[in-house]
Amino acid sequence: MARASGQKLKILSVLQILTEETDEWHPLGAAAIAEKLKSRGISAERKSVYDDIEQLRGFGYDIVYAKAGKKGGYYLGSREFELPELKLLVDAVSASRFITPKKSRELIGKLEKFAGKEEARQLQRQVYVAGRVKTERENIYYTVDAVHRALQHQQQISFQYMEWGLDGKLHPRREGARYQASPWALLWSAENYYMIAYDASAGRIKHYRVDKMQNIRLLPQKRLGQQAFDGFDPGAYANRTFGMYGGKDCVVTLEFSDSLVGVVMDRFGKDTSLYPSGNGTFLIRVEVAVSGQFFGWLTGLGSQVKLLGPPDVARQYREHLEKIMEGYRNTGGNDET
């Protein structure tokens, strides 16, 4: 009985061997495959291995025969994912702050199964990305799932929103009072996951970091905010919302040194219109969320950027810089080391 059961699994075992142990540089001959089947307790002759391979080919698997010198062997050609694609996915998982280290290892382990054994070793080397700060909260996956269900059924949700305390722990904002919002999108920006939603009480679009949402509940009420989200562009929203910090949306005029064209394209997108000034600078007009984060981005570029208008935003920026300077005017200092 055990022998018969093993024979029924033989063709599946052949497929598993080809999937896990072969690639273009490591083919296996029929005799080698038969030996590996034998080590699994499945008796097989080379002829039956040939038959199994032909059946798998007939079913649609791309099994290639490669000849090297007097010897040849089989390997699984096309796969669900090519190695460069898997490396890209592994890097994304490794870099994602909202995925815990434990879940990262689990997901990468699953991705490795789409590659051969030798290629999987290359994916393992990709795991060691130094200096990445990652969340420790495992329940983020359930929060994401709940938001997806709310999006699918167009429902409102309620939740507690957390913030970091001086004790290094997350605590509920507003003394634990629940937030209520209408989800419209999930956005991955600045290495974090955000829910983009309509806040009916404020009458505007807001965003919330998913890893700081807790005790989420789906509500029976249908979501609101259709008019606010007509023509909504998540990419444009992320570009103008610096560090995903909210602020009043405003069209500003900025003057940059010509050397910062790449910086501008990276920040605002390749469709941004540039207007040469003729003196080694260019102008842009873009919509941004005016906030401390936006001013901080400008400050980081130093004298290579000027905020030209509107006048009230330029005034706010000057006040922002003056407050920073004020913090240093009254501090004692000694240049000697």
Q: Which tokens hold the place of 200? A: 């009916």
Question: What is the arithmetic mean of pLDDT over 77-95?
Answer: 81
Task: Give the tens place of pLDDT for each residue, 158-210.
Answer: 999 998 887 878 899 999 999 999 999 998 876 778 899 999 999 999 999 88
Task: Give the tens place of pLDDT for each residue, 26-53.
Answer: 889 999 999 999 998 898 888 999 999 9
Average pLDDT, the chain: 85
- What pLDDT is attached to residue 285? 94
| Residue 127 confidence class, pLDDT cut points 50, 70, 90 | very low
Question: What is the arithmetic mean of pLDDT over 59-67?
Answer: 89
| Residue 6 confidence class, pLDDT cut points 50, 70, 90 | low
Task: Please state the pTM of the whole predicted model.
Answer: 0.60
Question: What is the arithmetic mean of pLDDT over 64-73?
Answer: 79
| Residue 311 confidence class, pLDDT cut points 50, 70, 90 | very high
Question: 98-112, 120-134, 153-167 — which one is most confidently predicted on average?
Answer: 153-167
134, pLDDT greater than 80: no
| Residue 1 confidence class, pLDDT cut points 50, 70, 90 | very low
- What gap in Å lies between CA 136 and CA 159, rounded to an integer? 19
- What gap in Å lies between CA 43 and CA 29, rounded to an integer? 16
- What gap in Å lies between CA 186 and CA 144, rounded to an integer? 9
- What pLDDT is attached to residue 257? 93
- What pLDDT is attached to residue 81? 82
Q: Identify how many contiguous H helices and E strands the chain contains and give both numbers.
A: 13, 12
- What pLDDT is attached to residue 8? 72
- In this structure, of 110-119, 149-158, 310-319, the range with the lowest mean pLDDT score is 110-119
3-state secondary structure string, the chain?
CHHHHHHHCHHHHHHHHHHHHCCCCCCECHHHHHHHHHHCCCCCCHHHHHHHHHHHHHHCCCEEEEEECCEEEEEECCCCCCHHHHHHHHHHHHHCCCCCHHHHHHHHHHHHCCCCHHHHHHHHHHCCCCCCCCCCCCCHHHHHHHHHHHHHHCEEEEEEEEEECCCCCEEEHHHHCCEEEEEEEEEEECCEEEEEEEECCCCEEEEEEHHHEEEEEEEEEECCCHHHHCCCCHHHHHHHCHHHCCCEEEEEEEEEEHHHHHHHHHHHCCCCCCEECCCCEEEEEEEEEECHHHHHHHHHCHHHEEEEECHHHHHHHHHHHHHHHHHHHCCCCCCCC
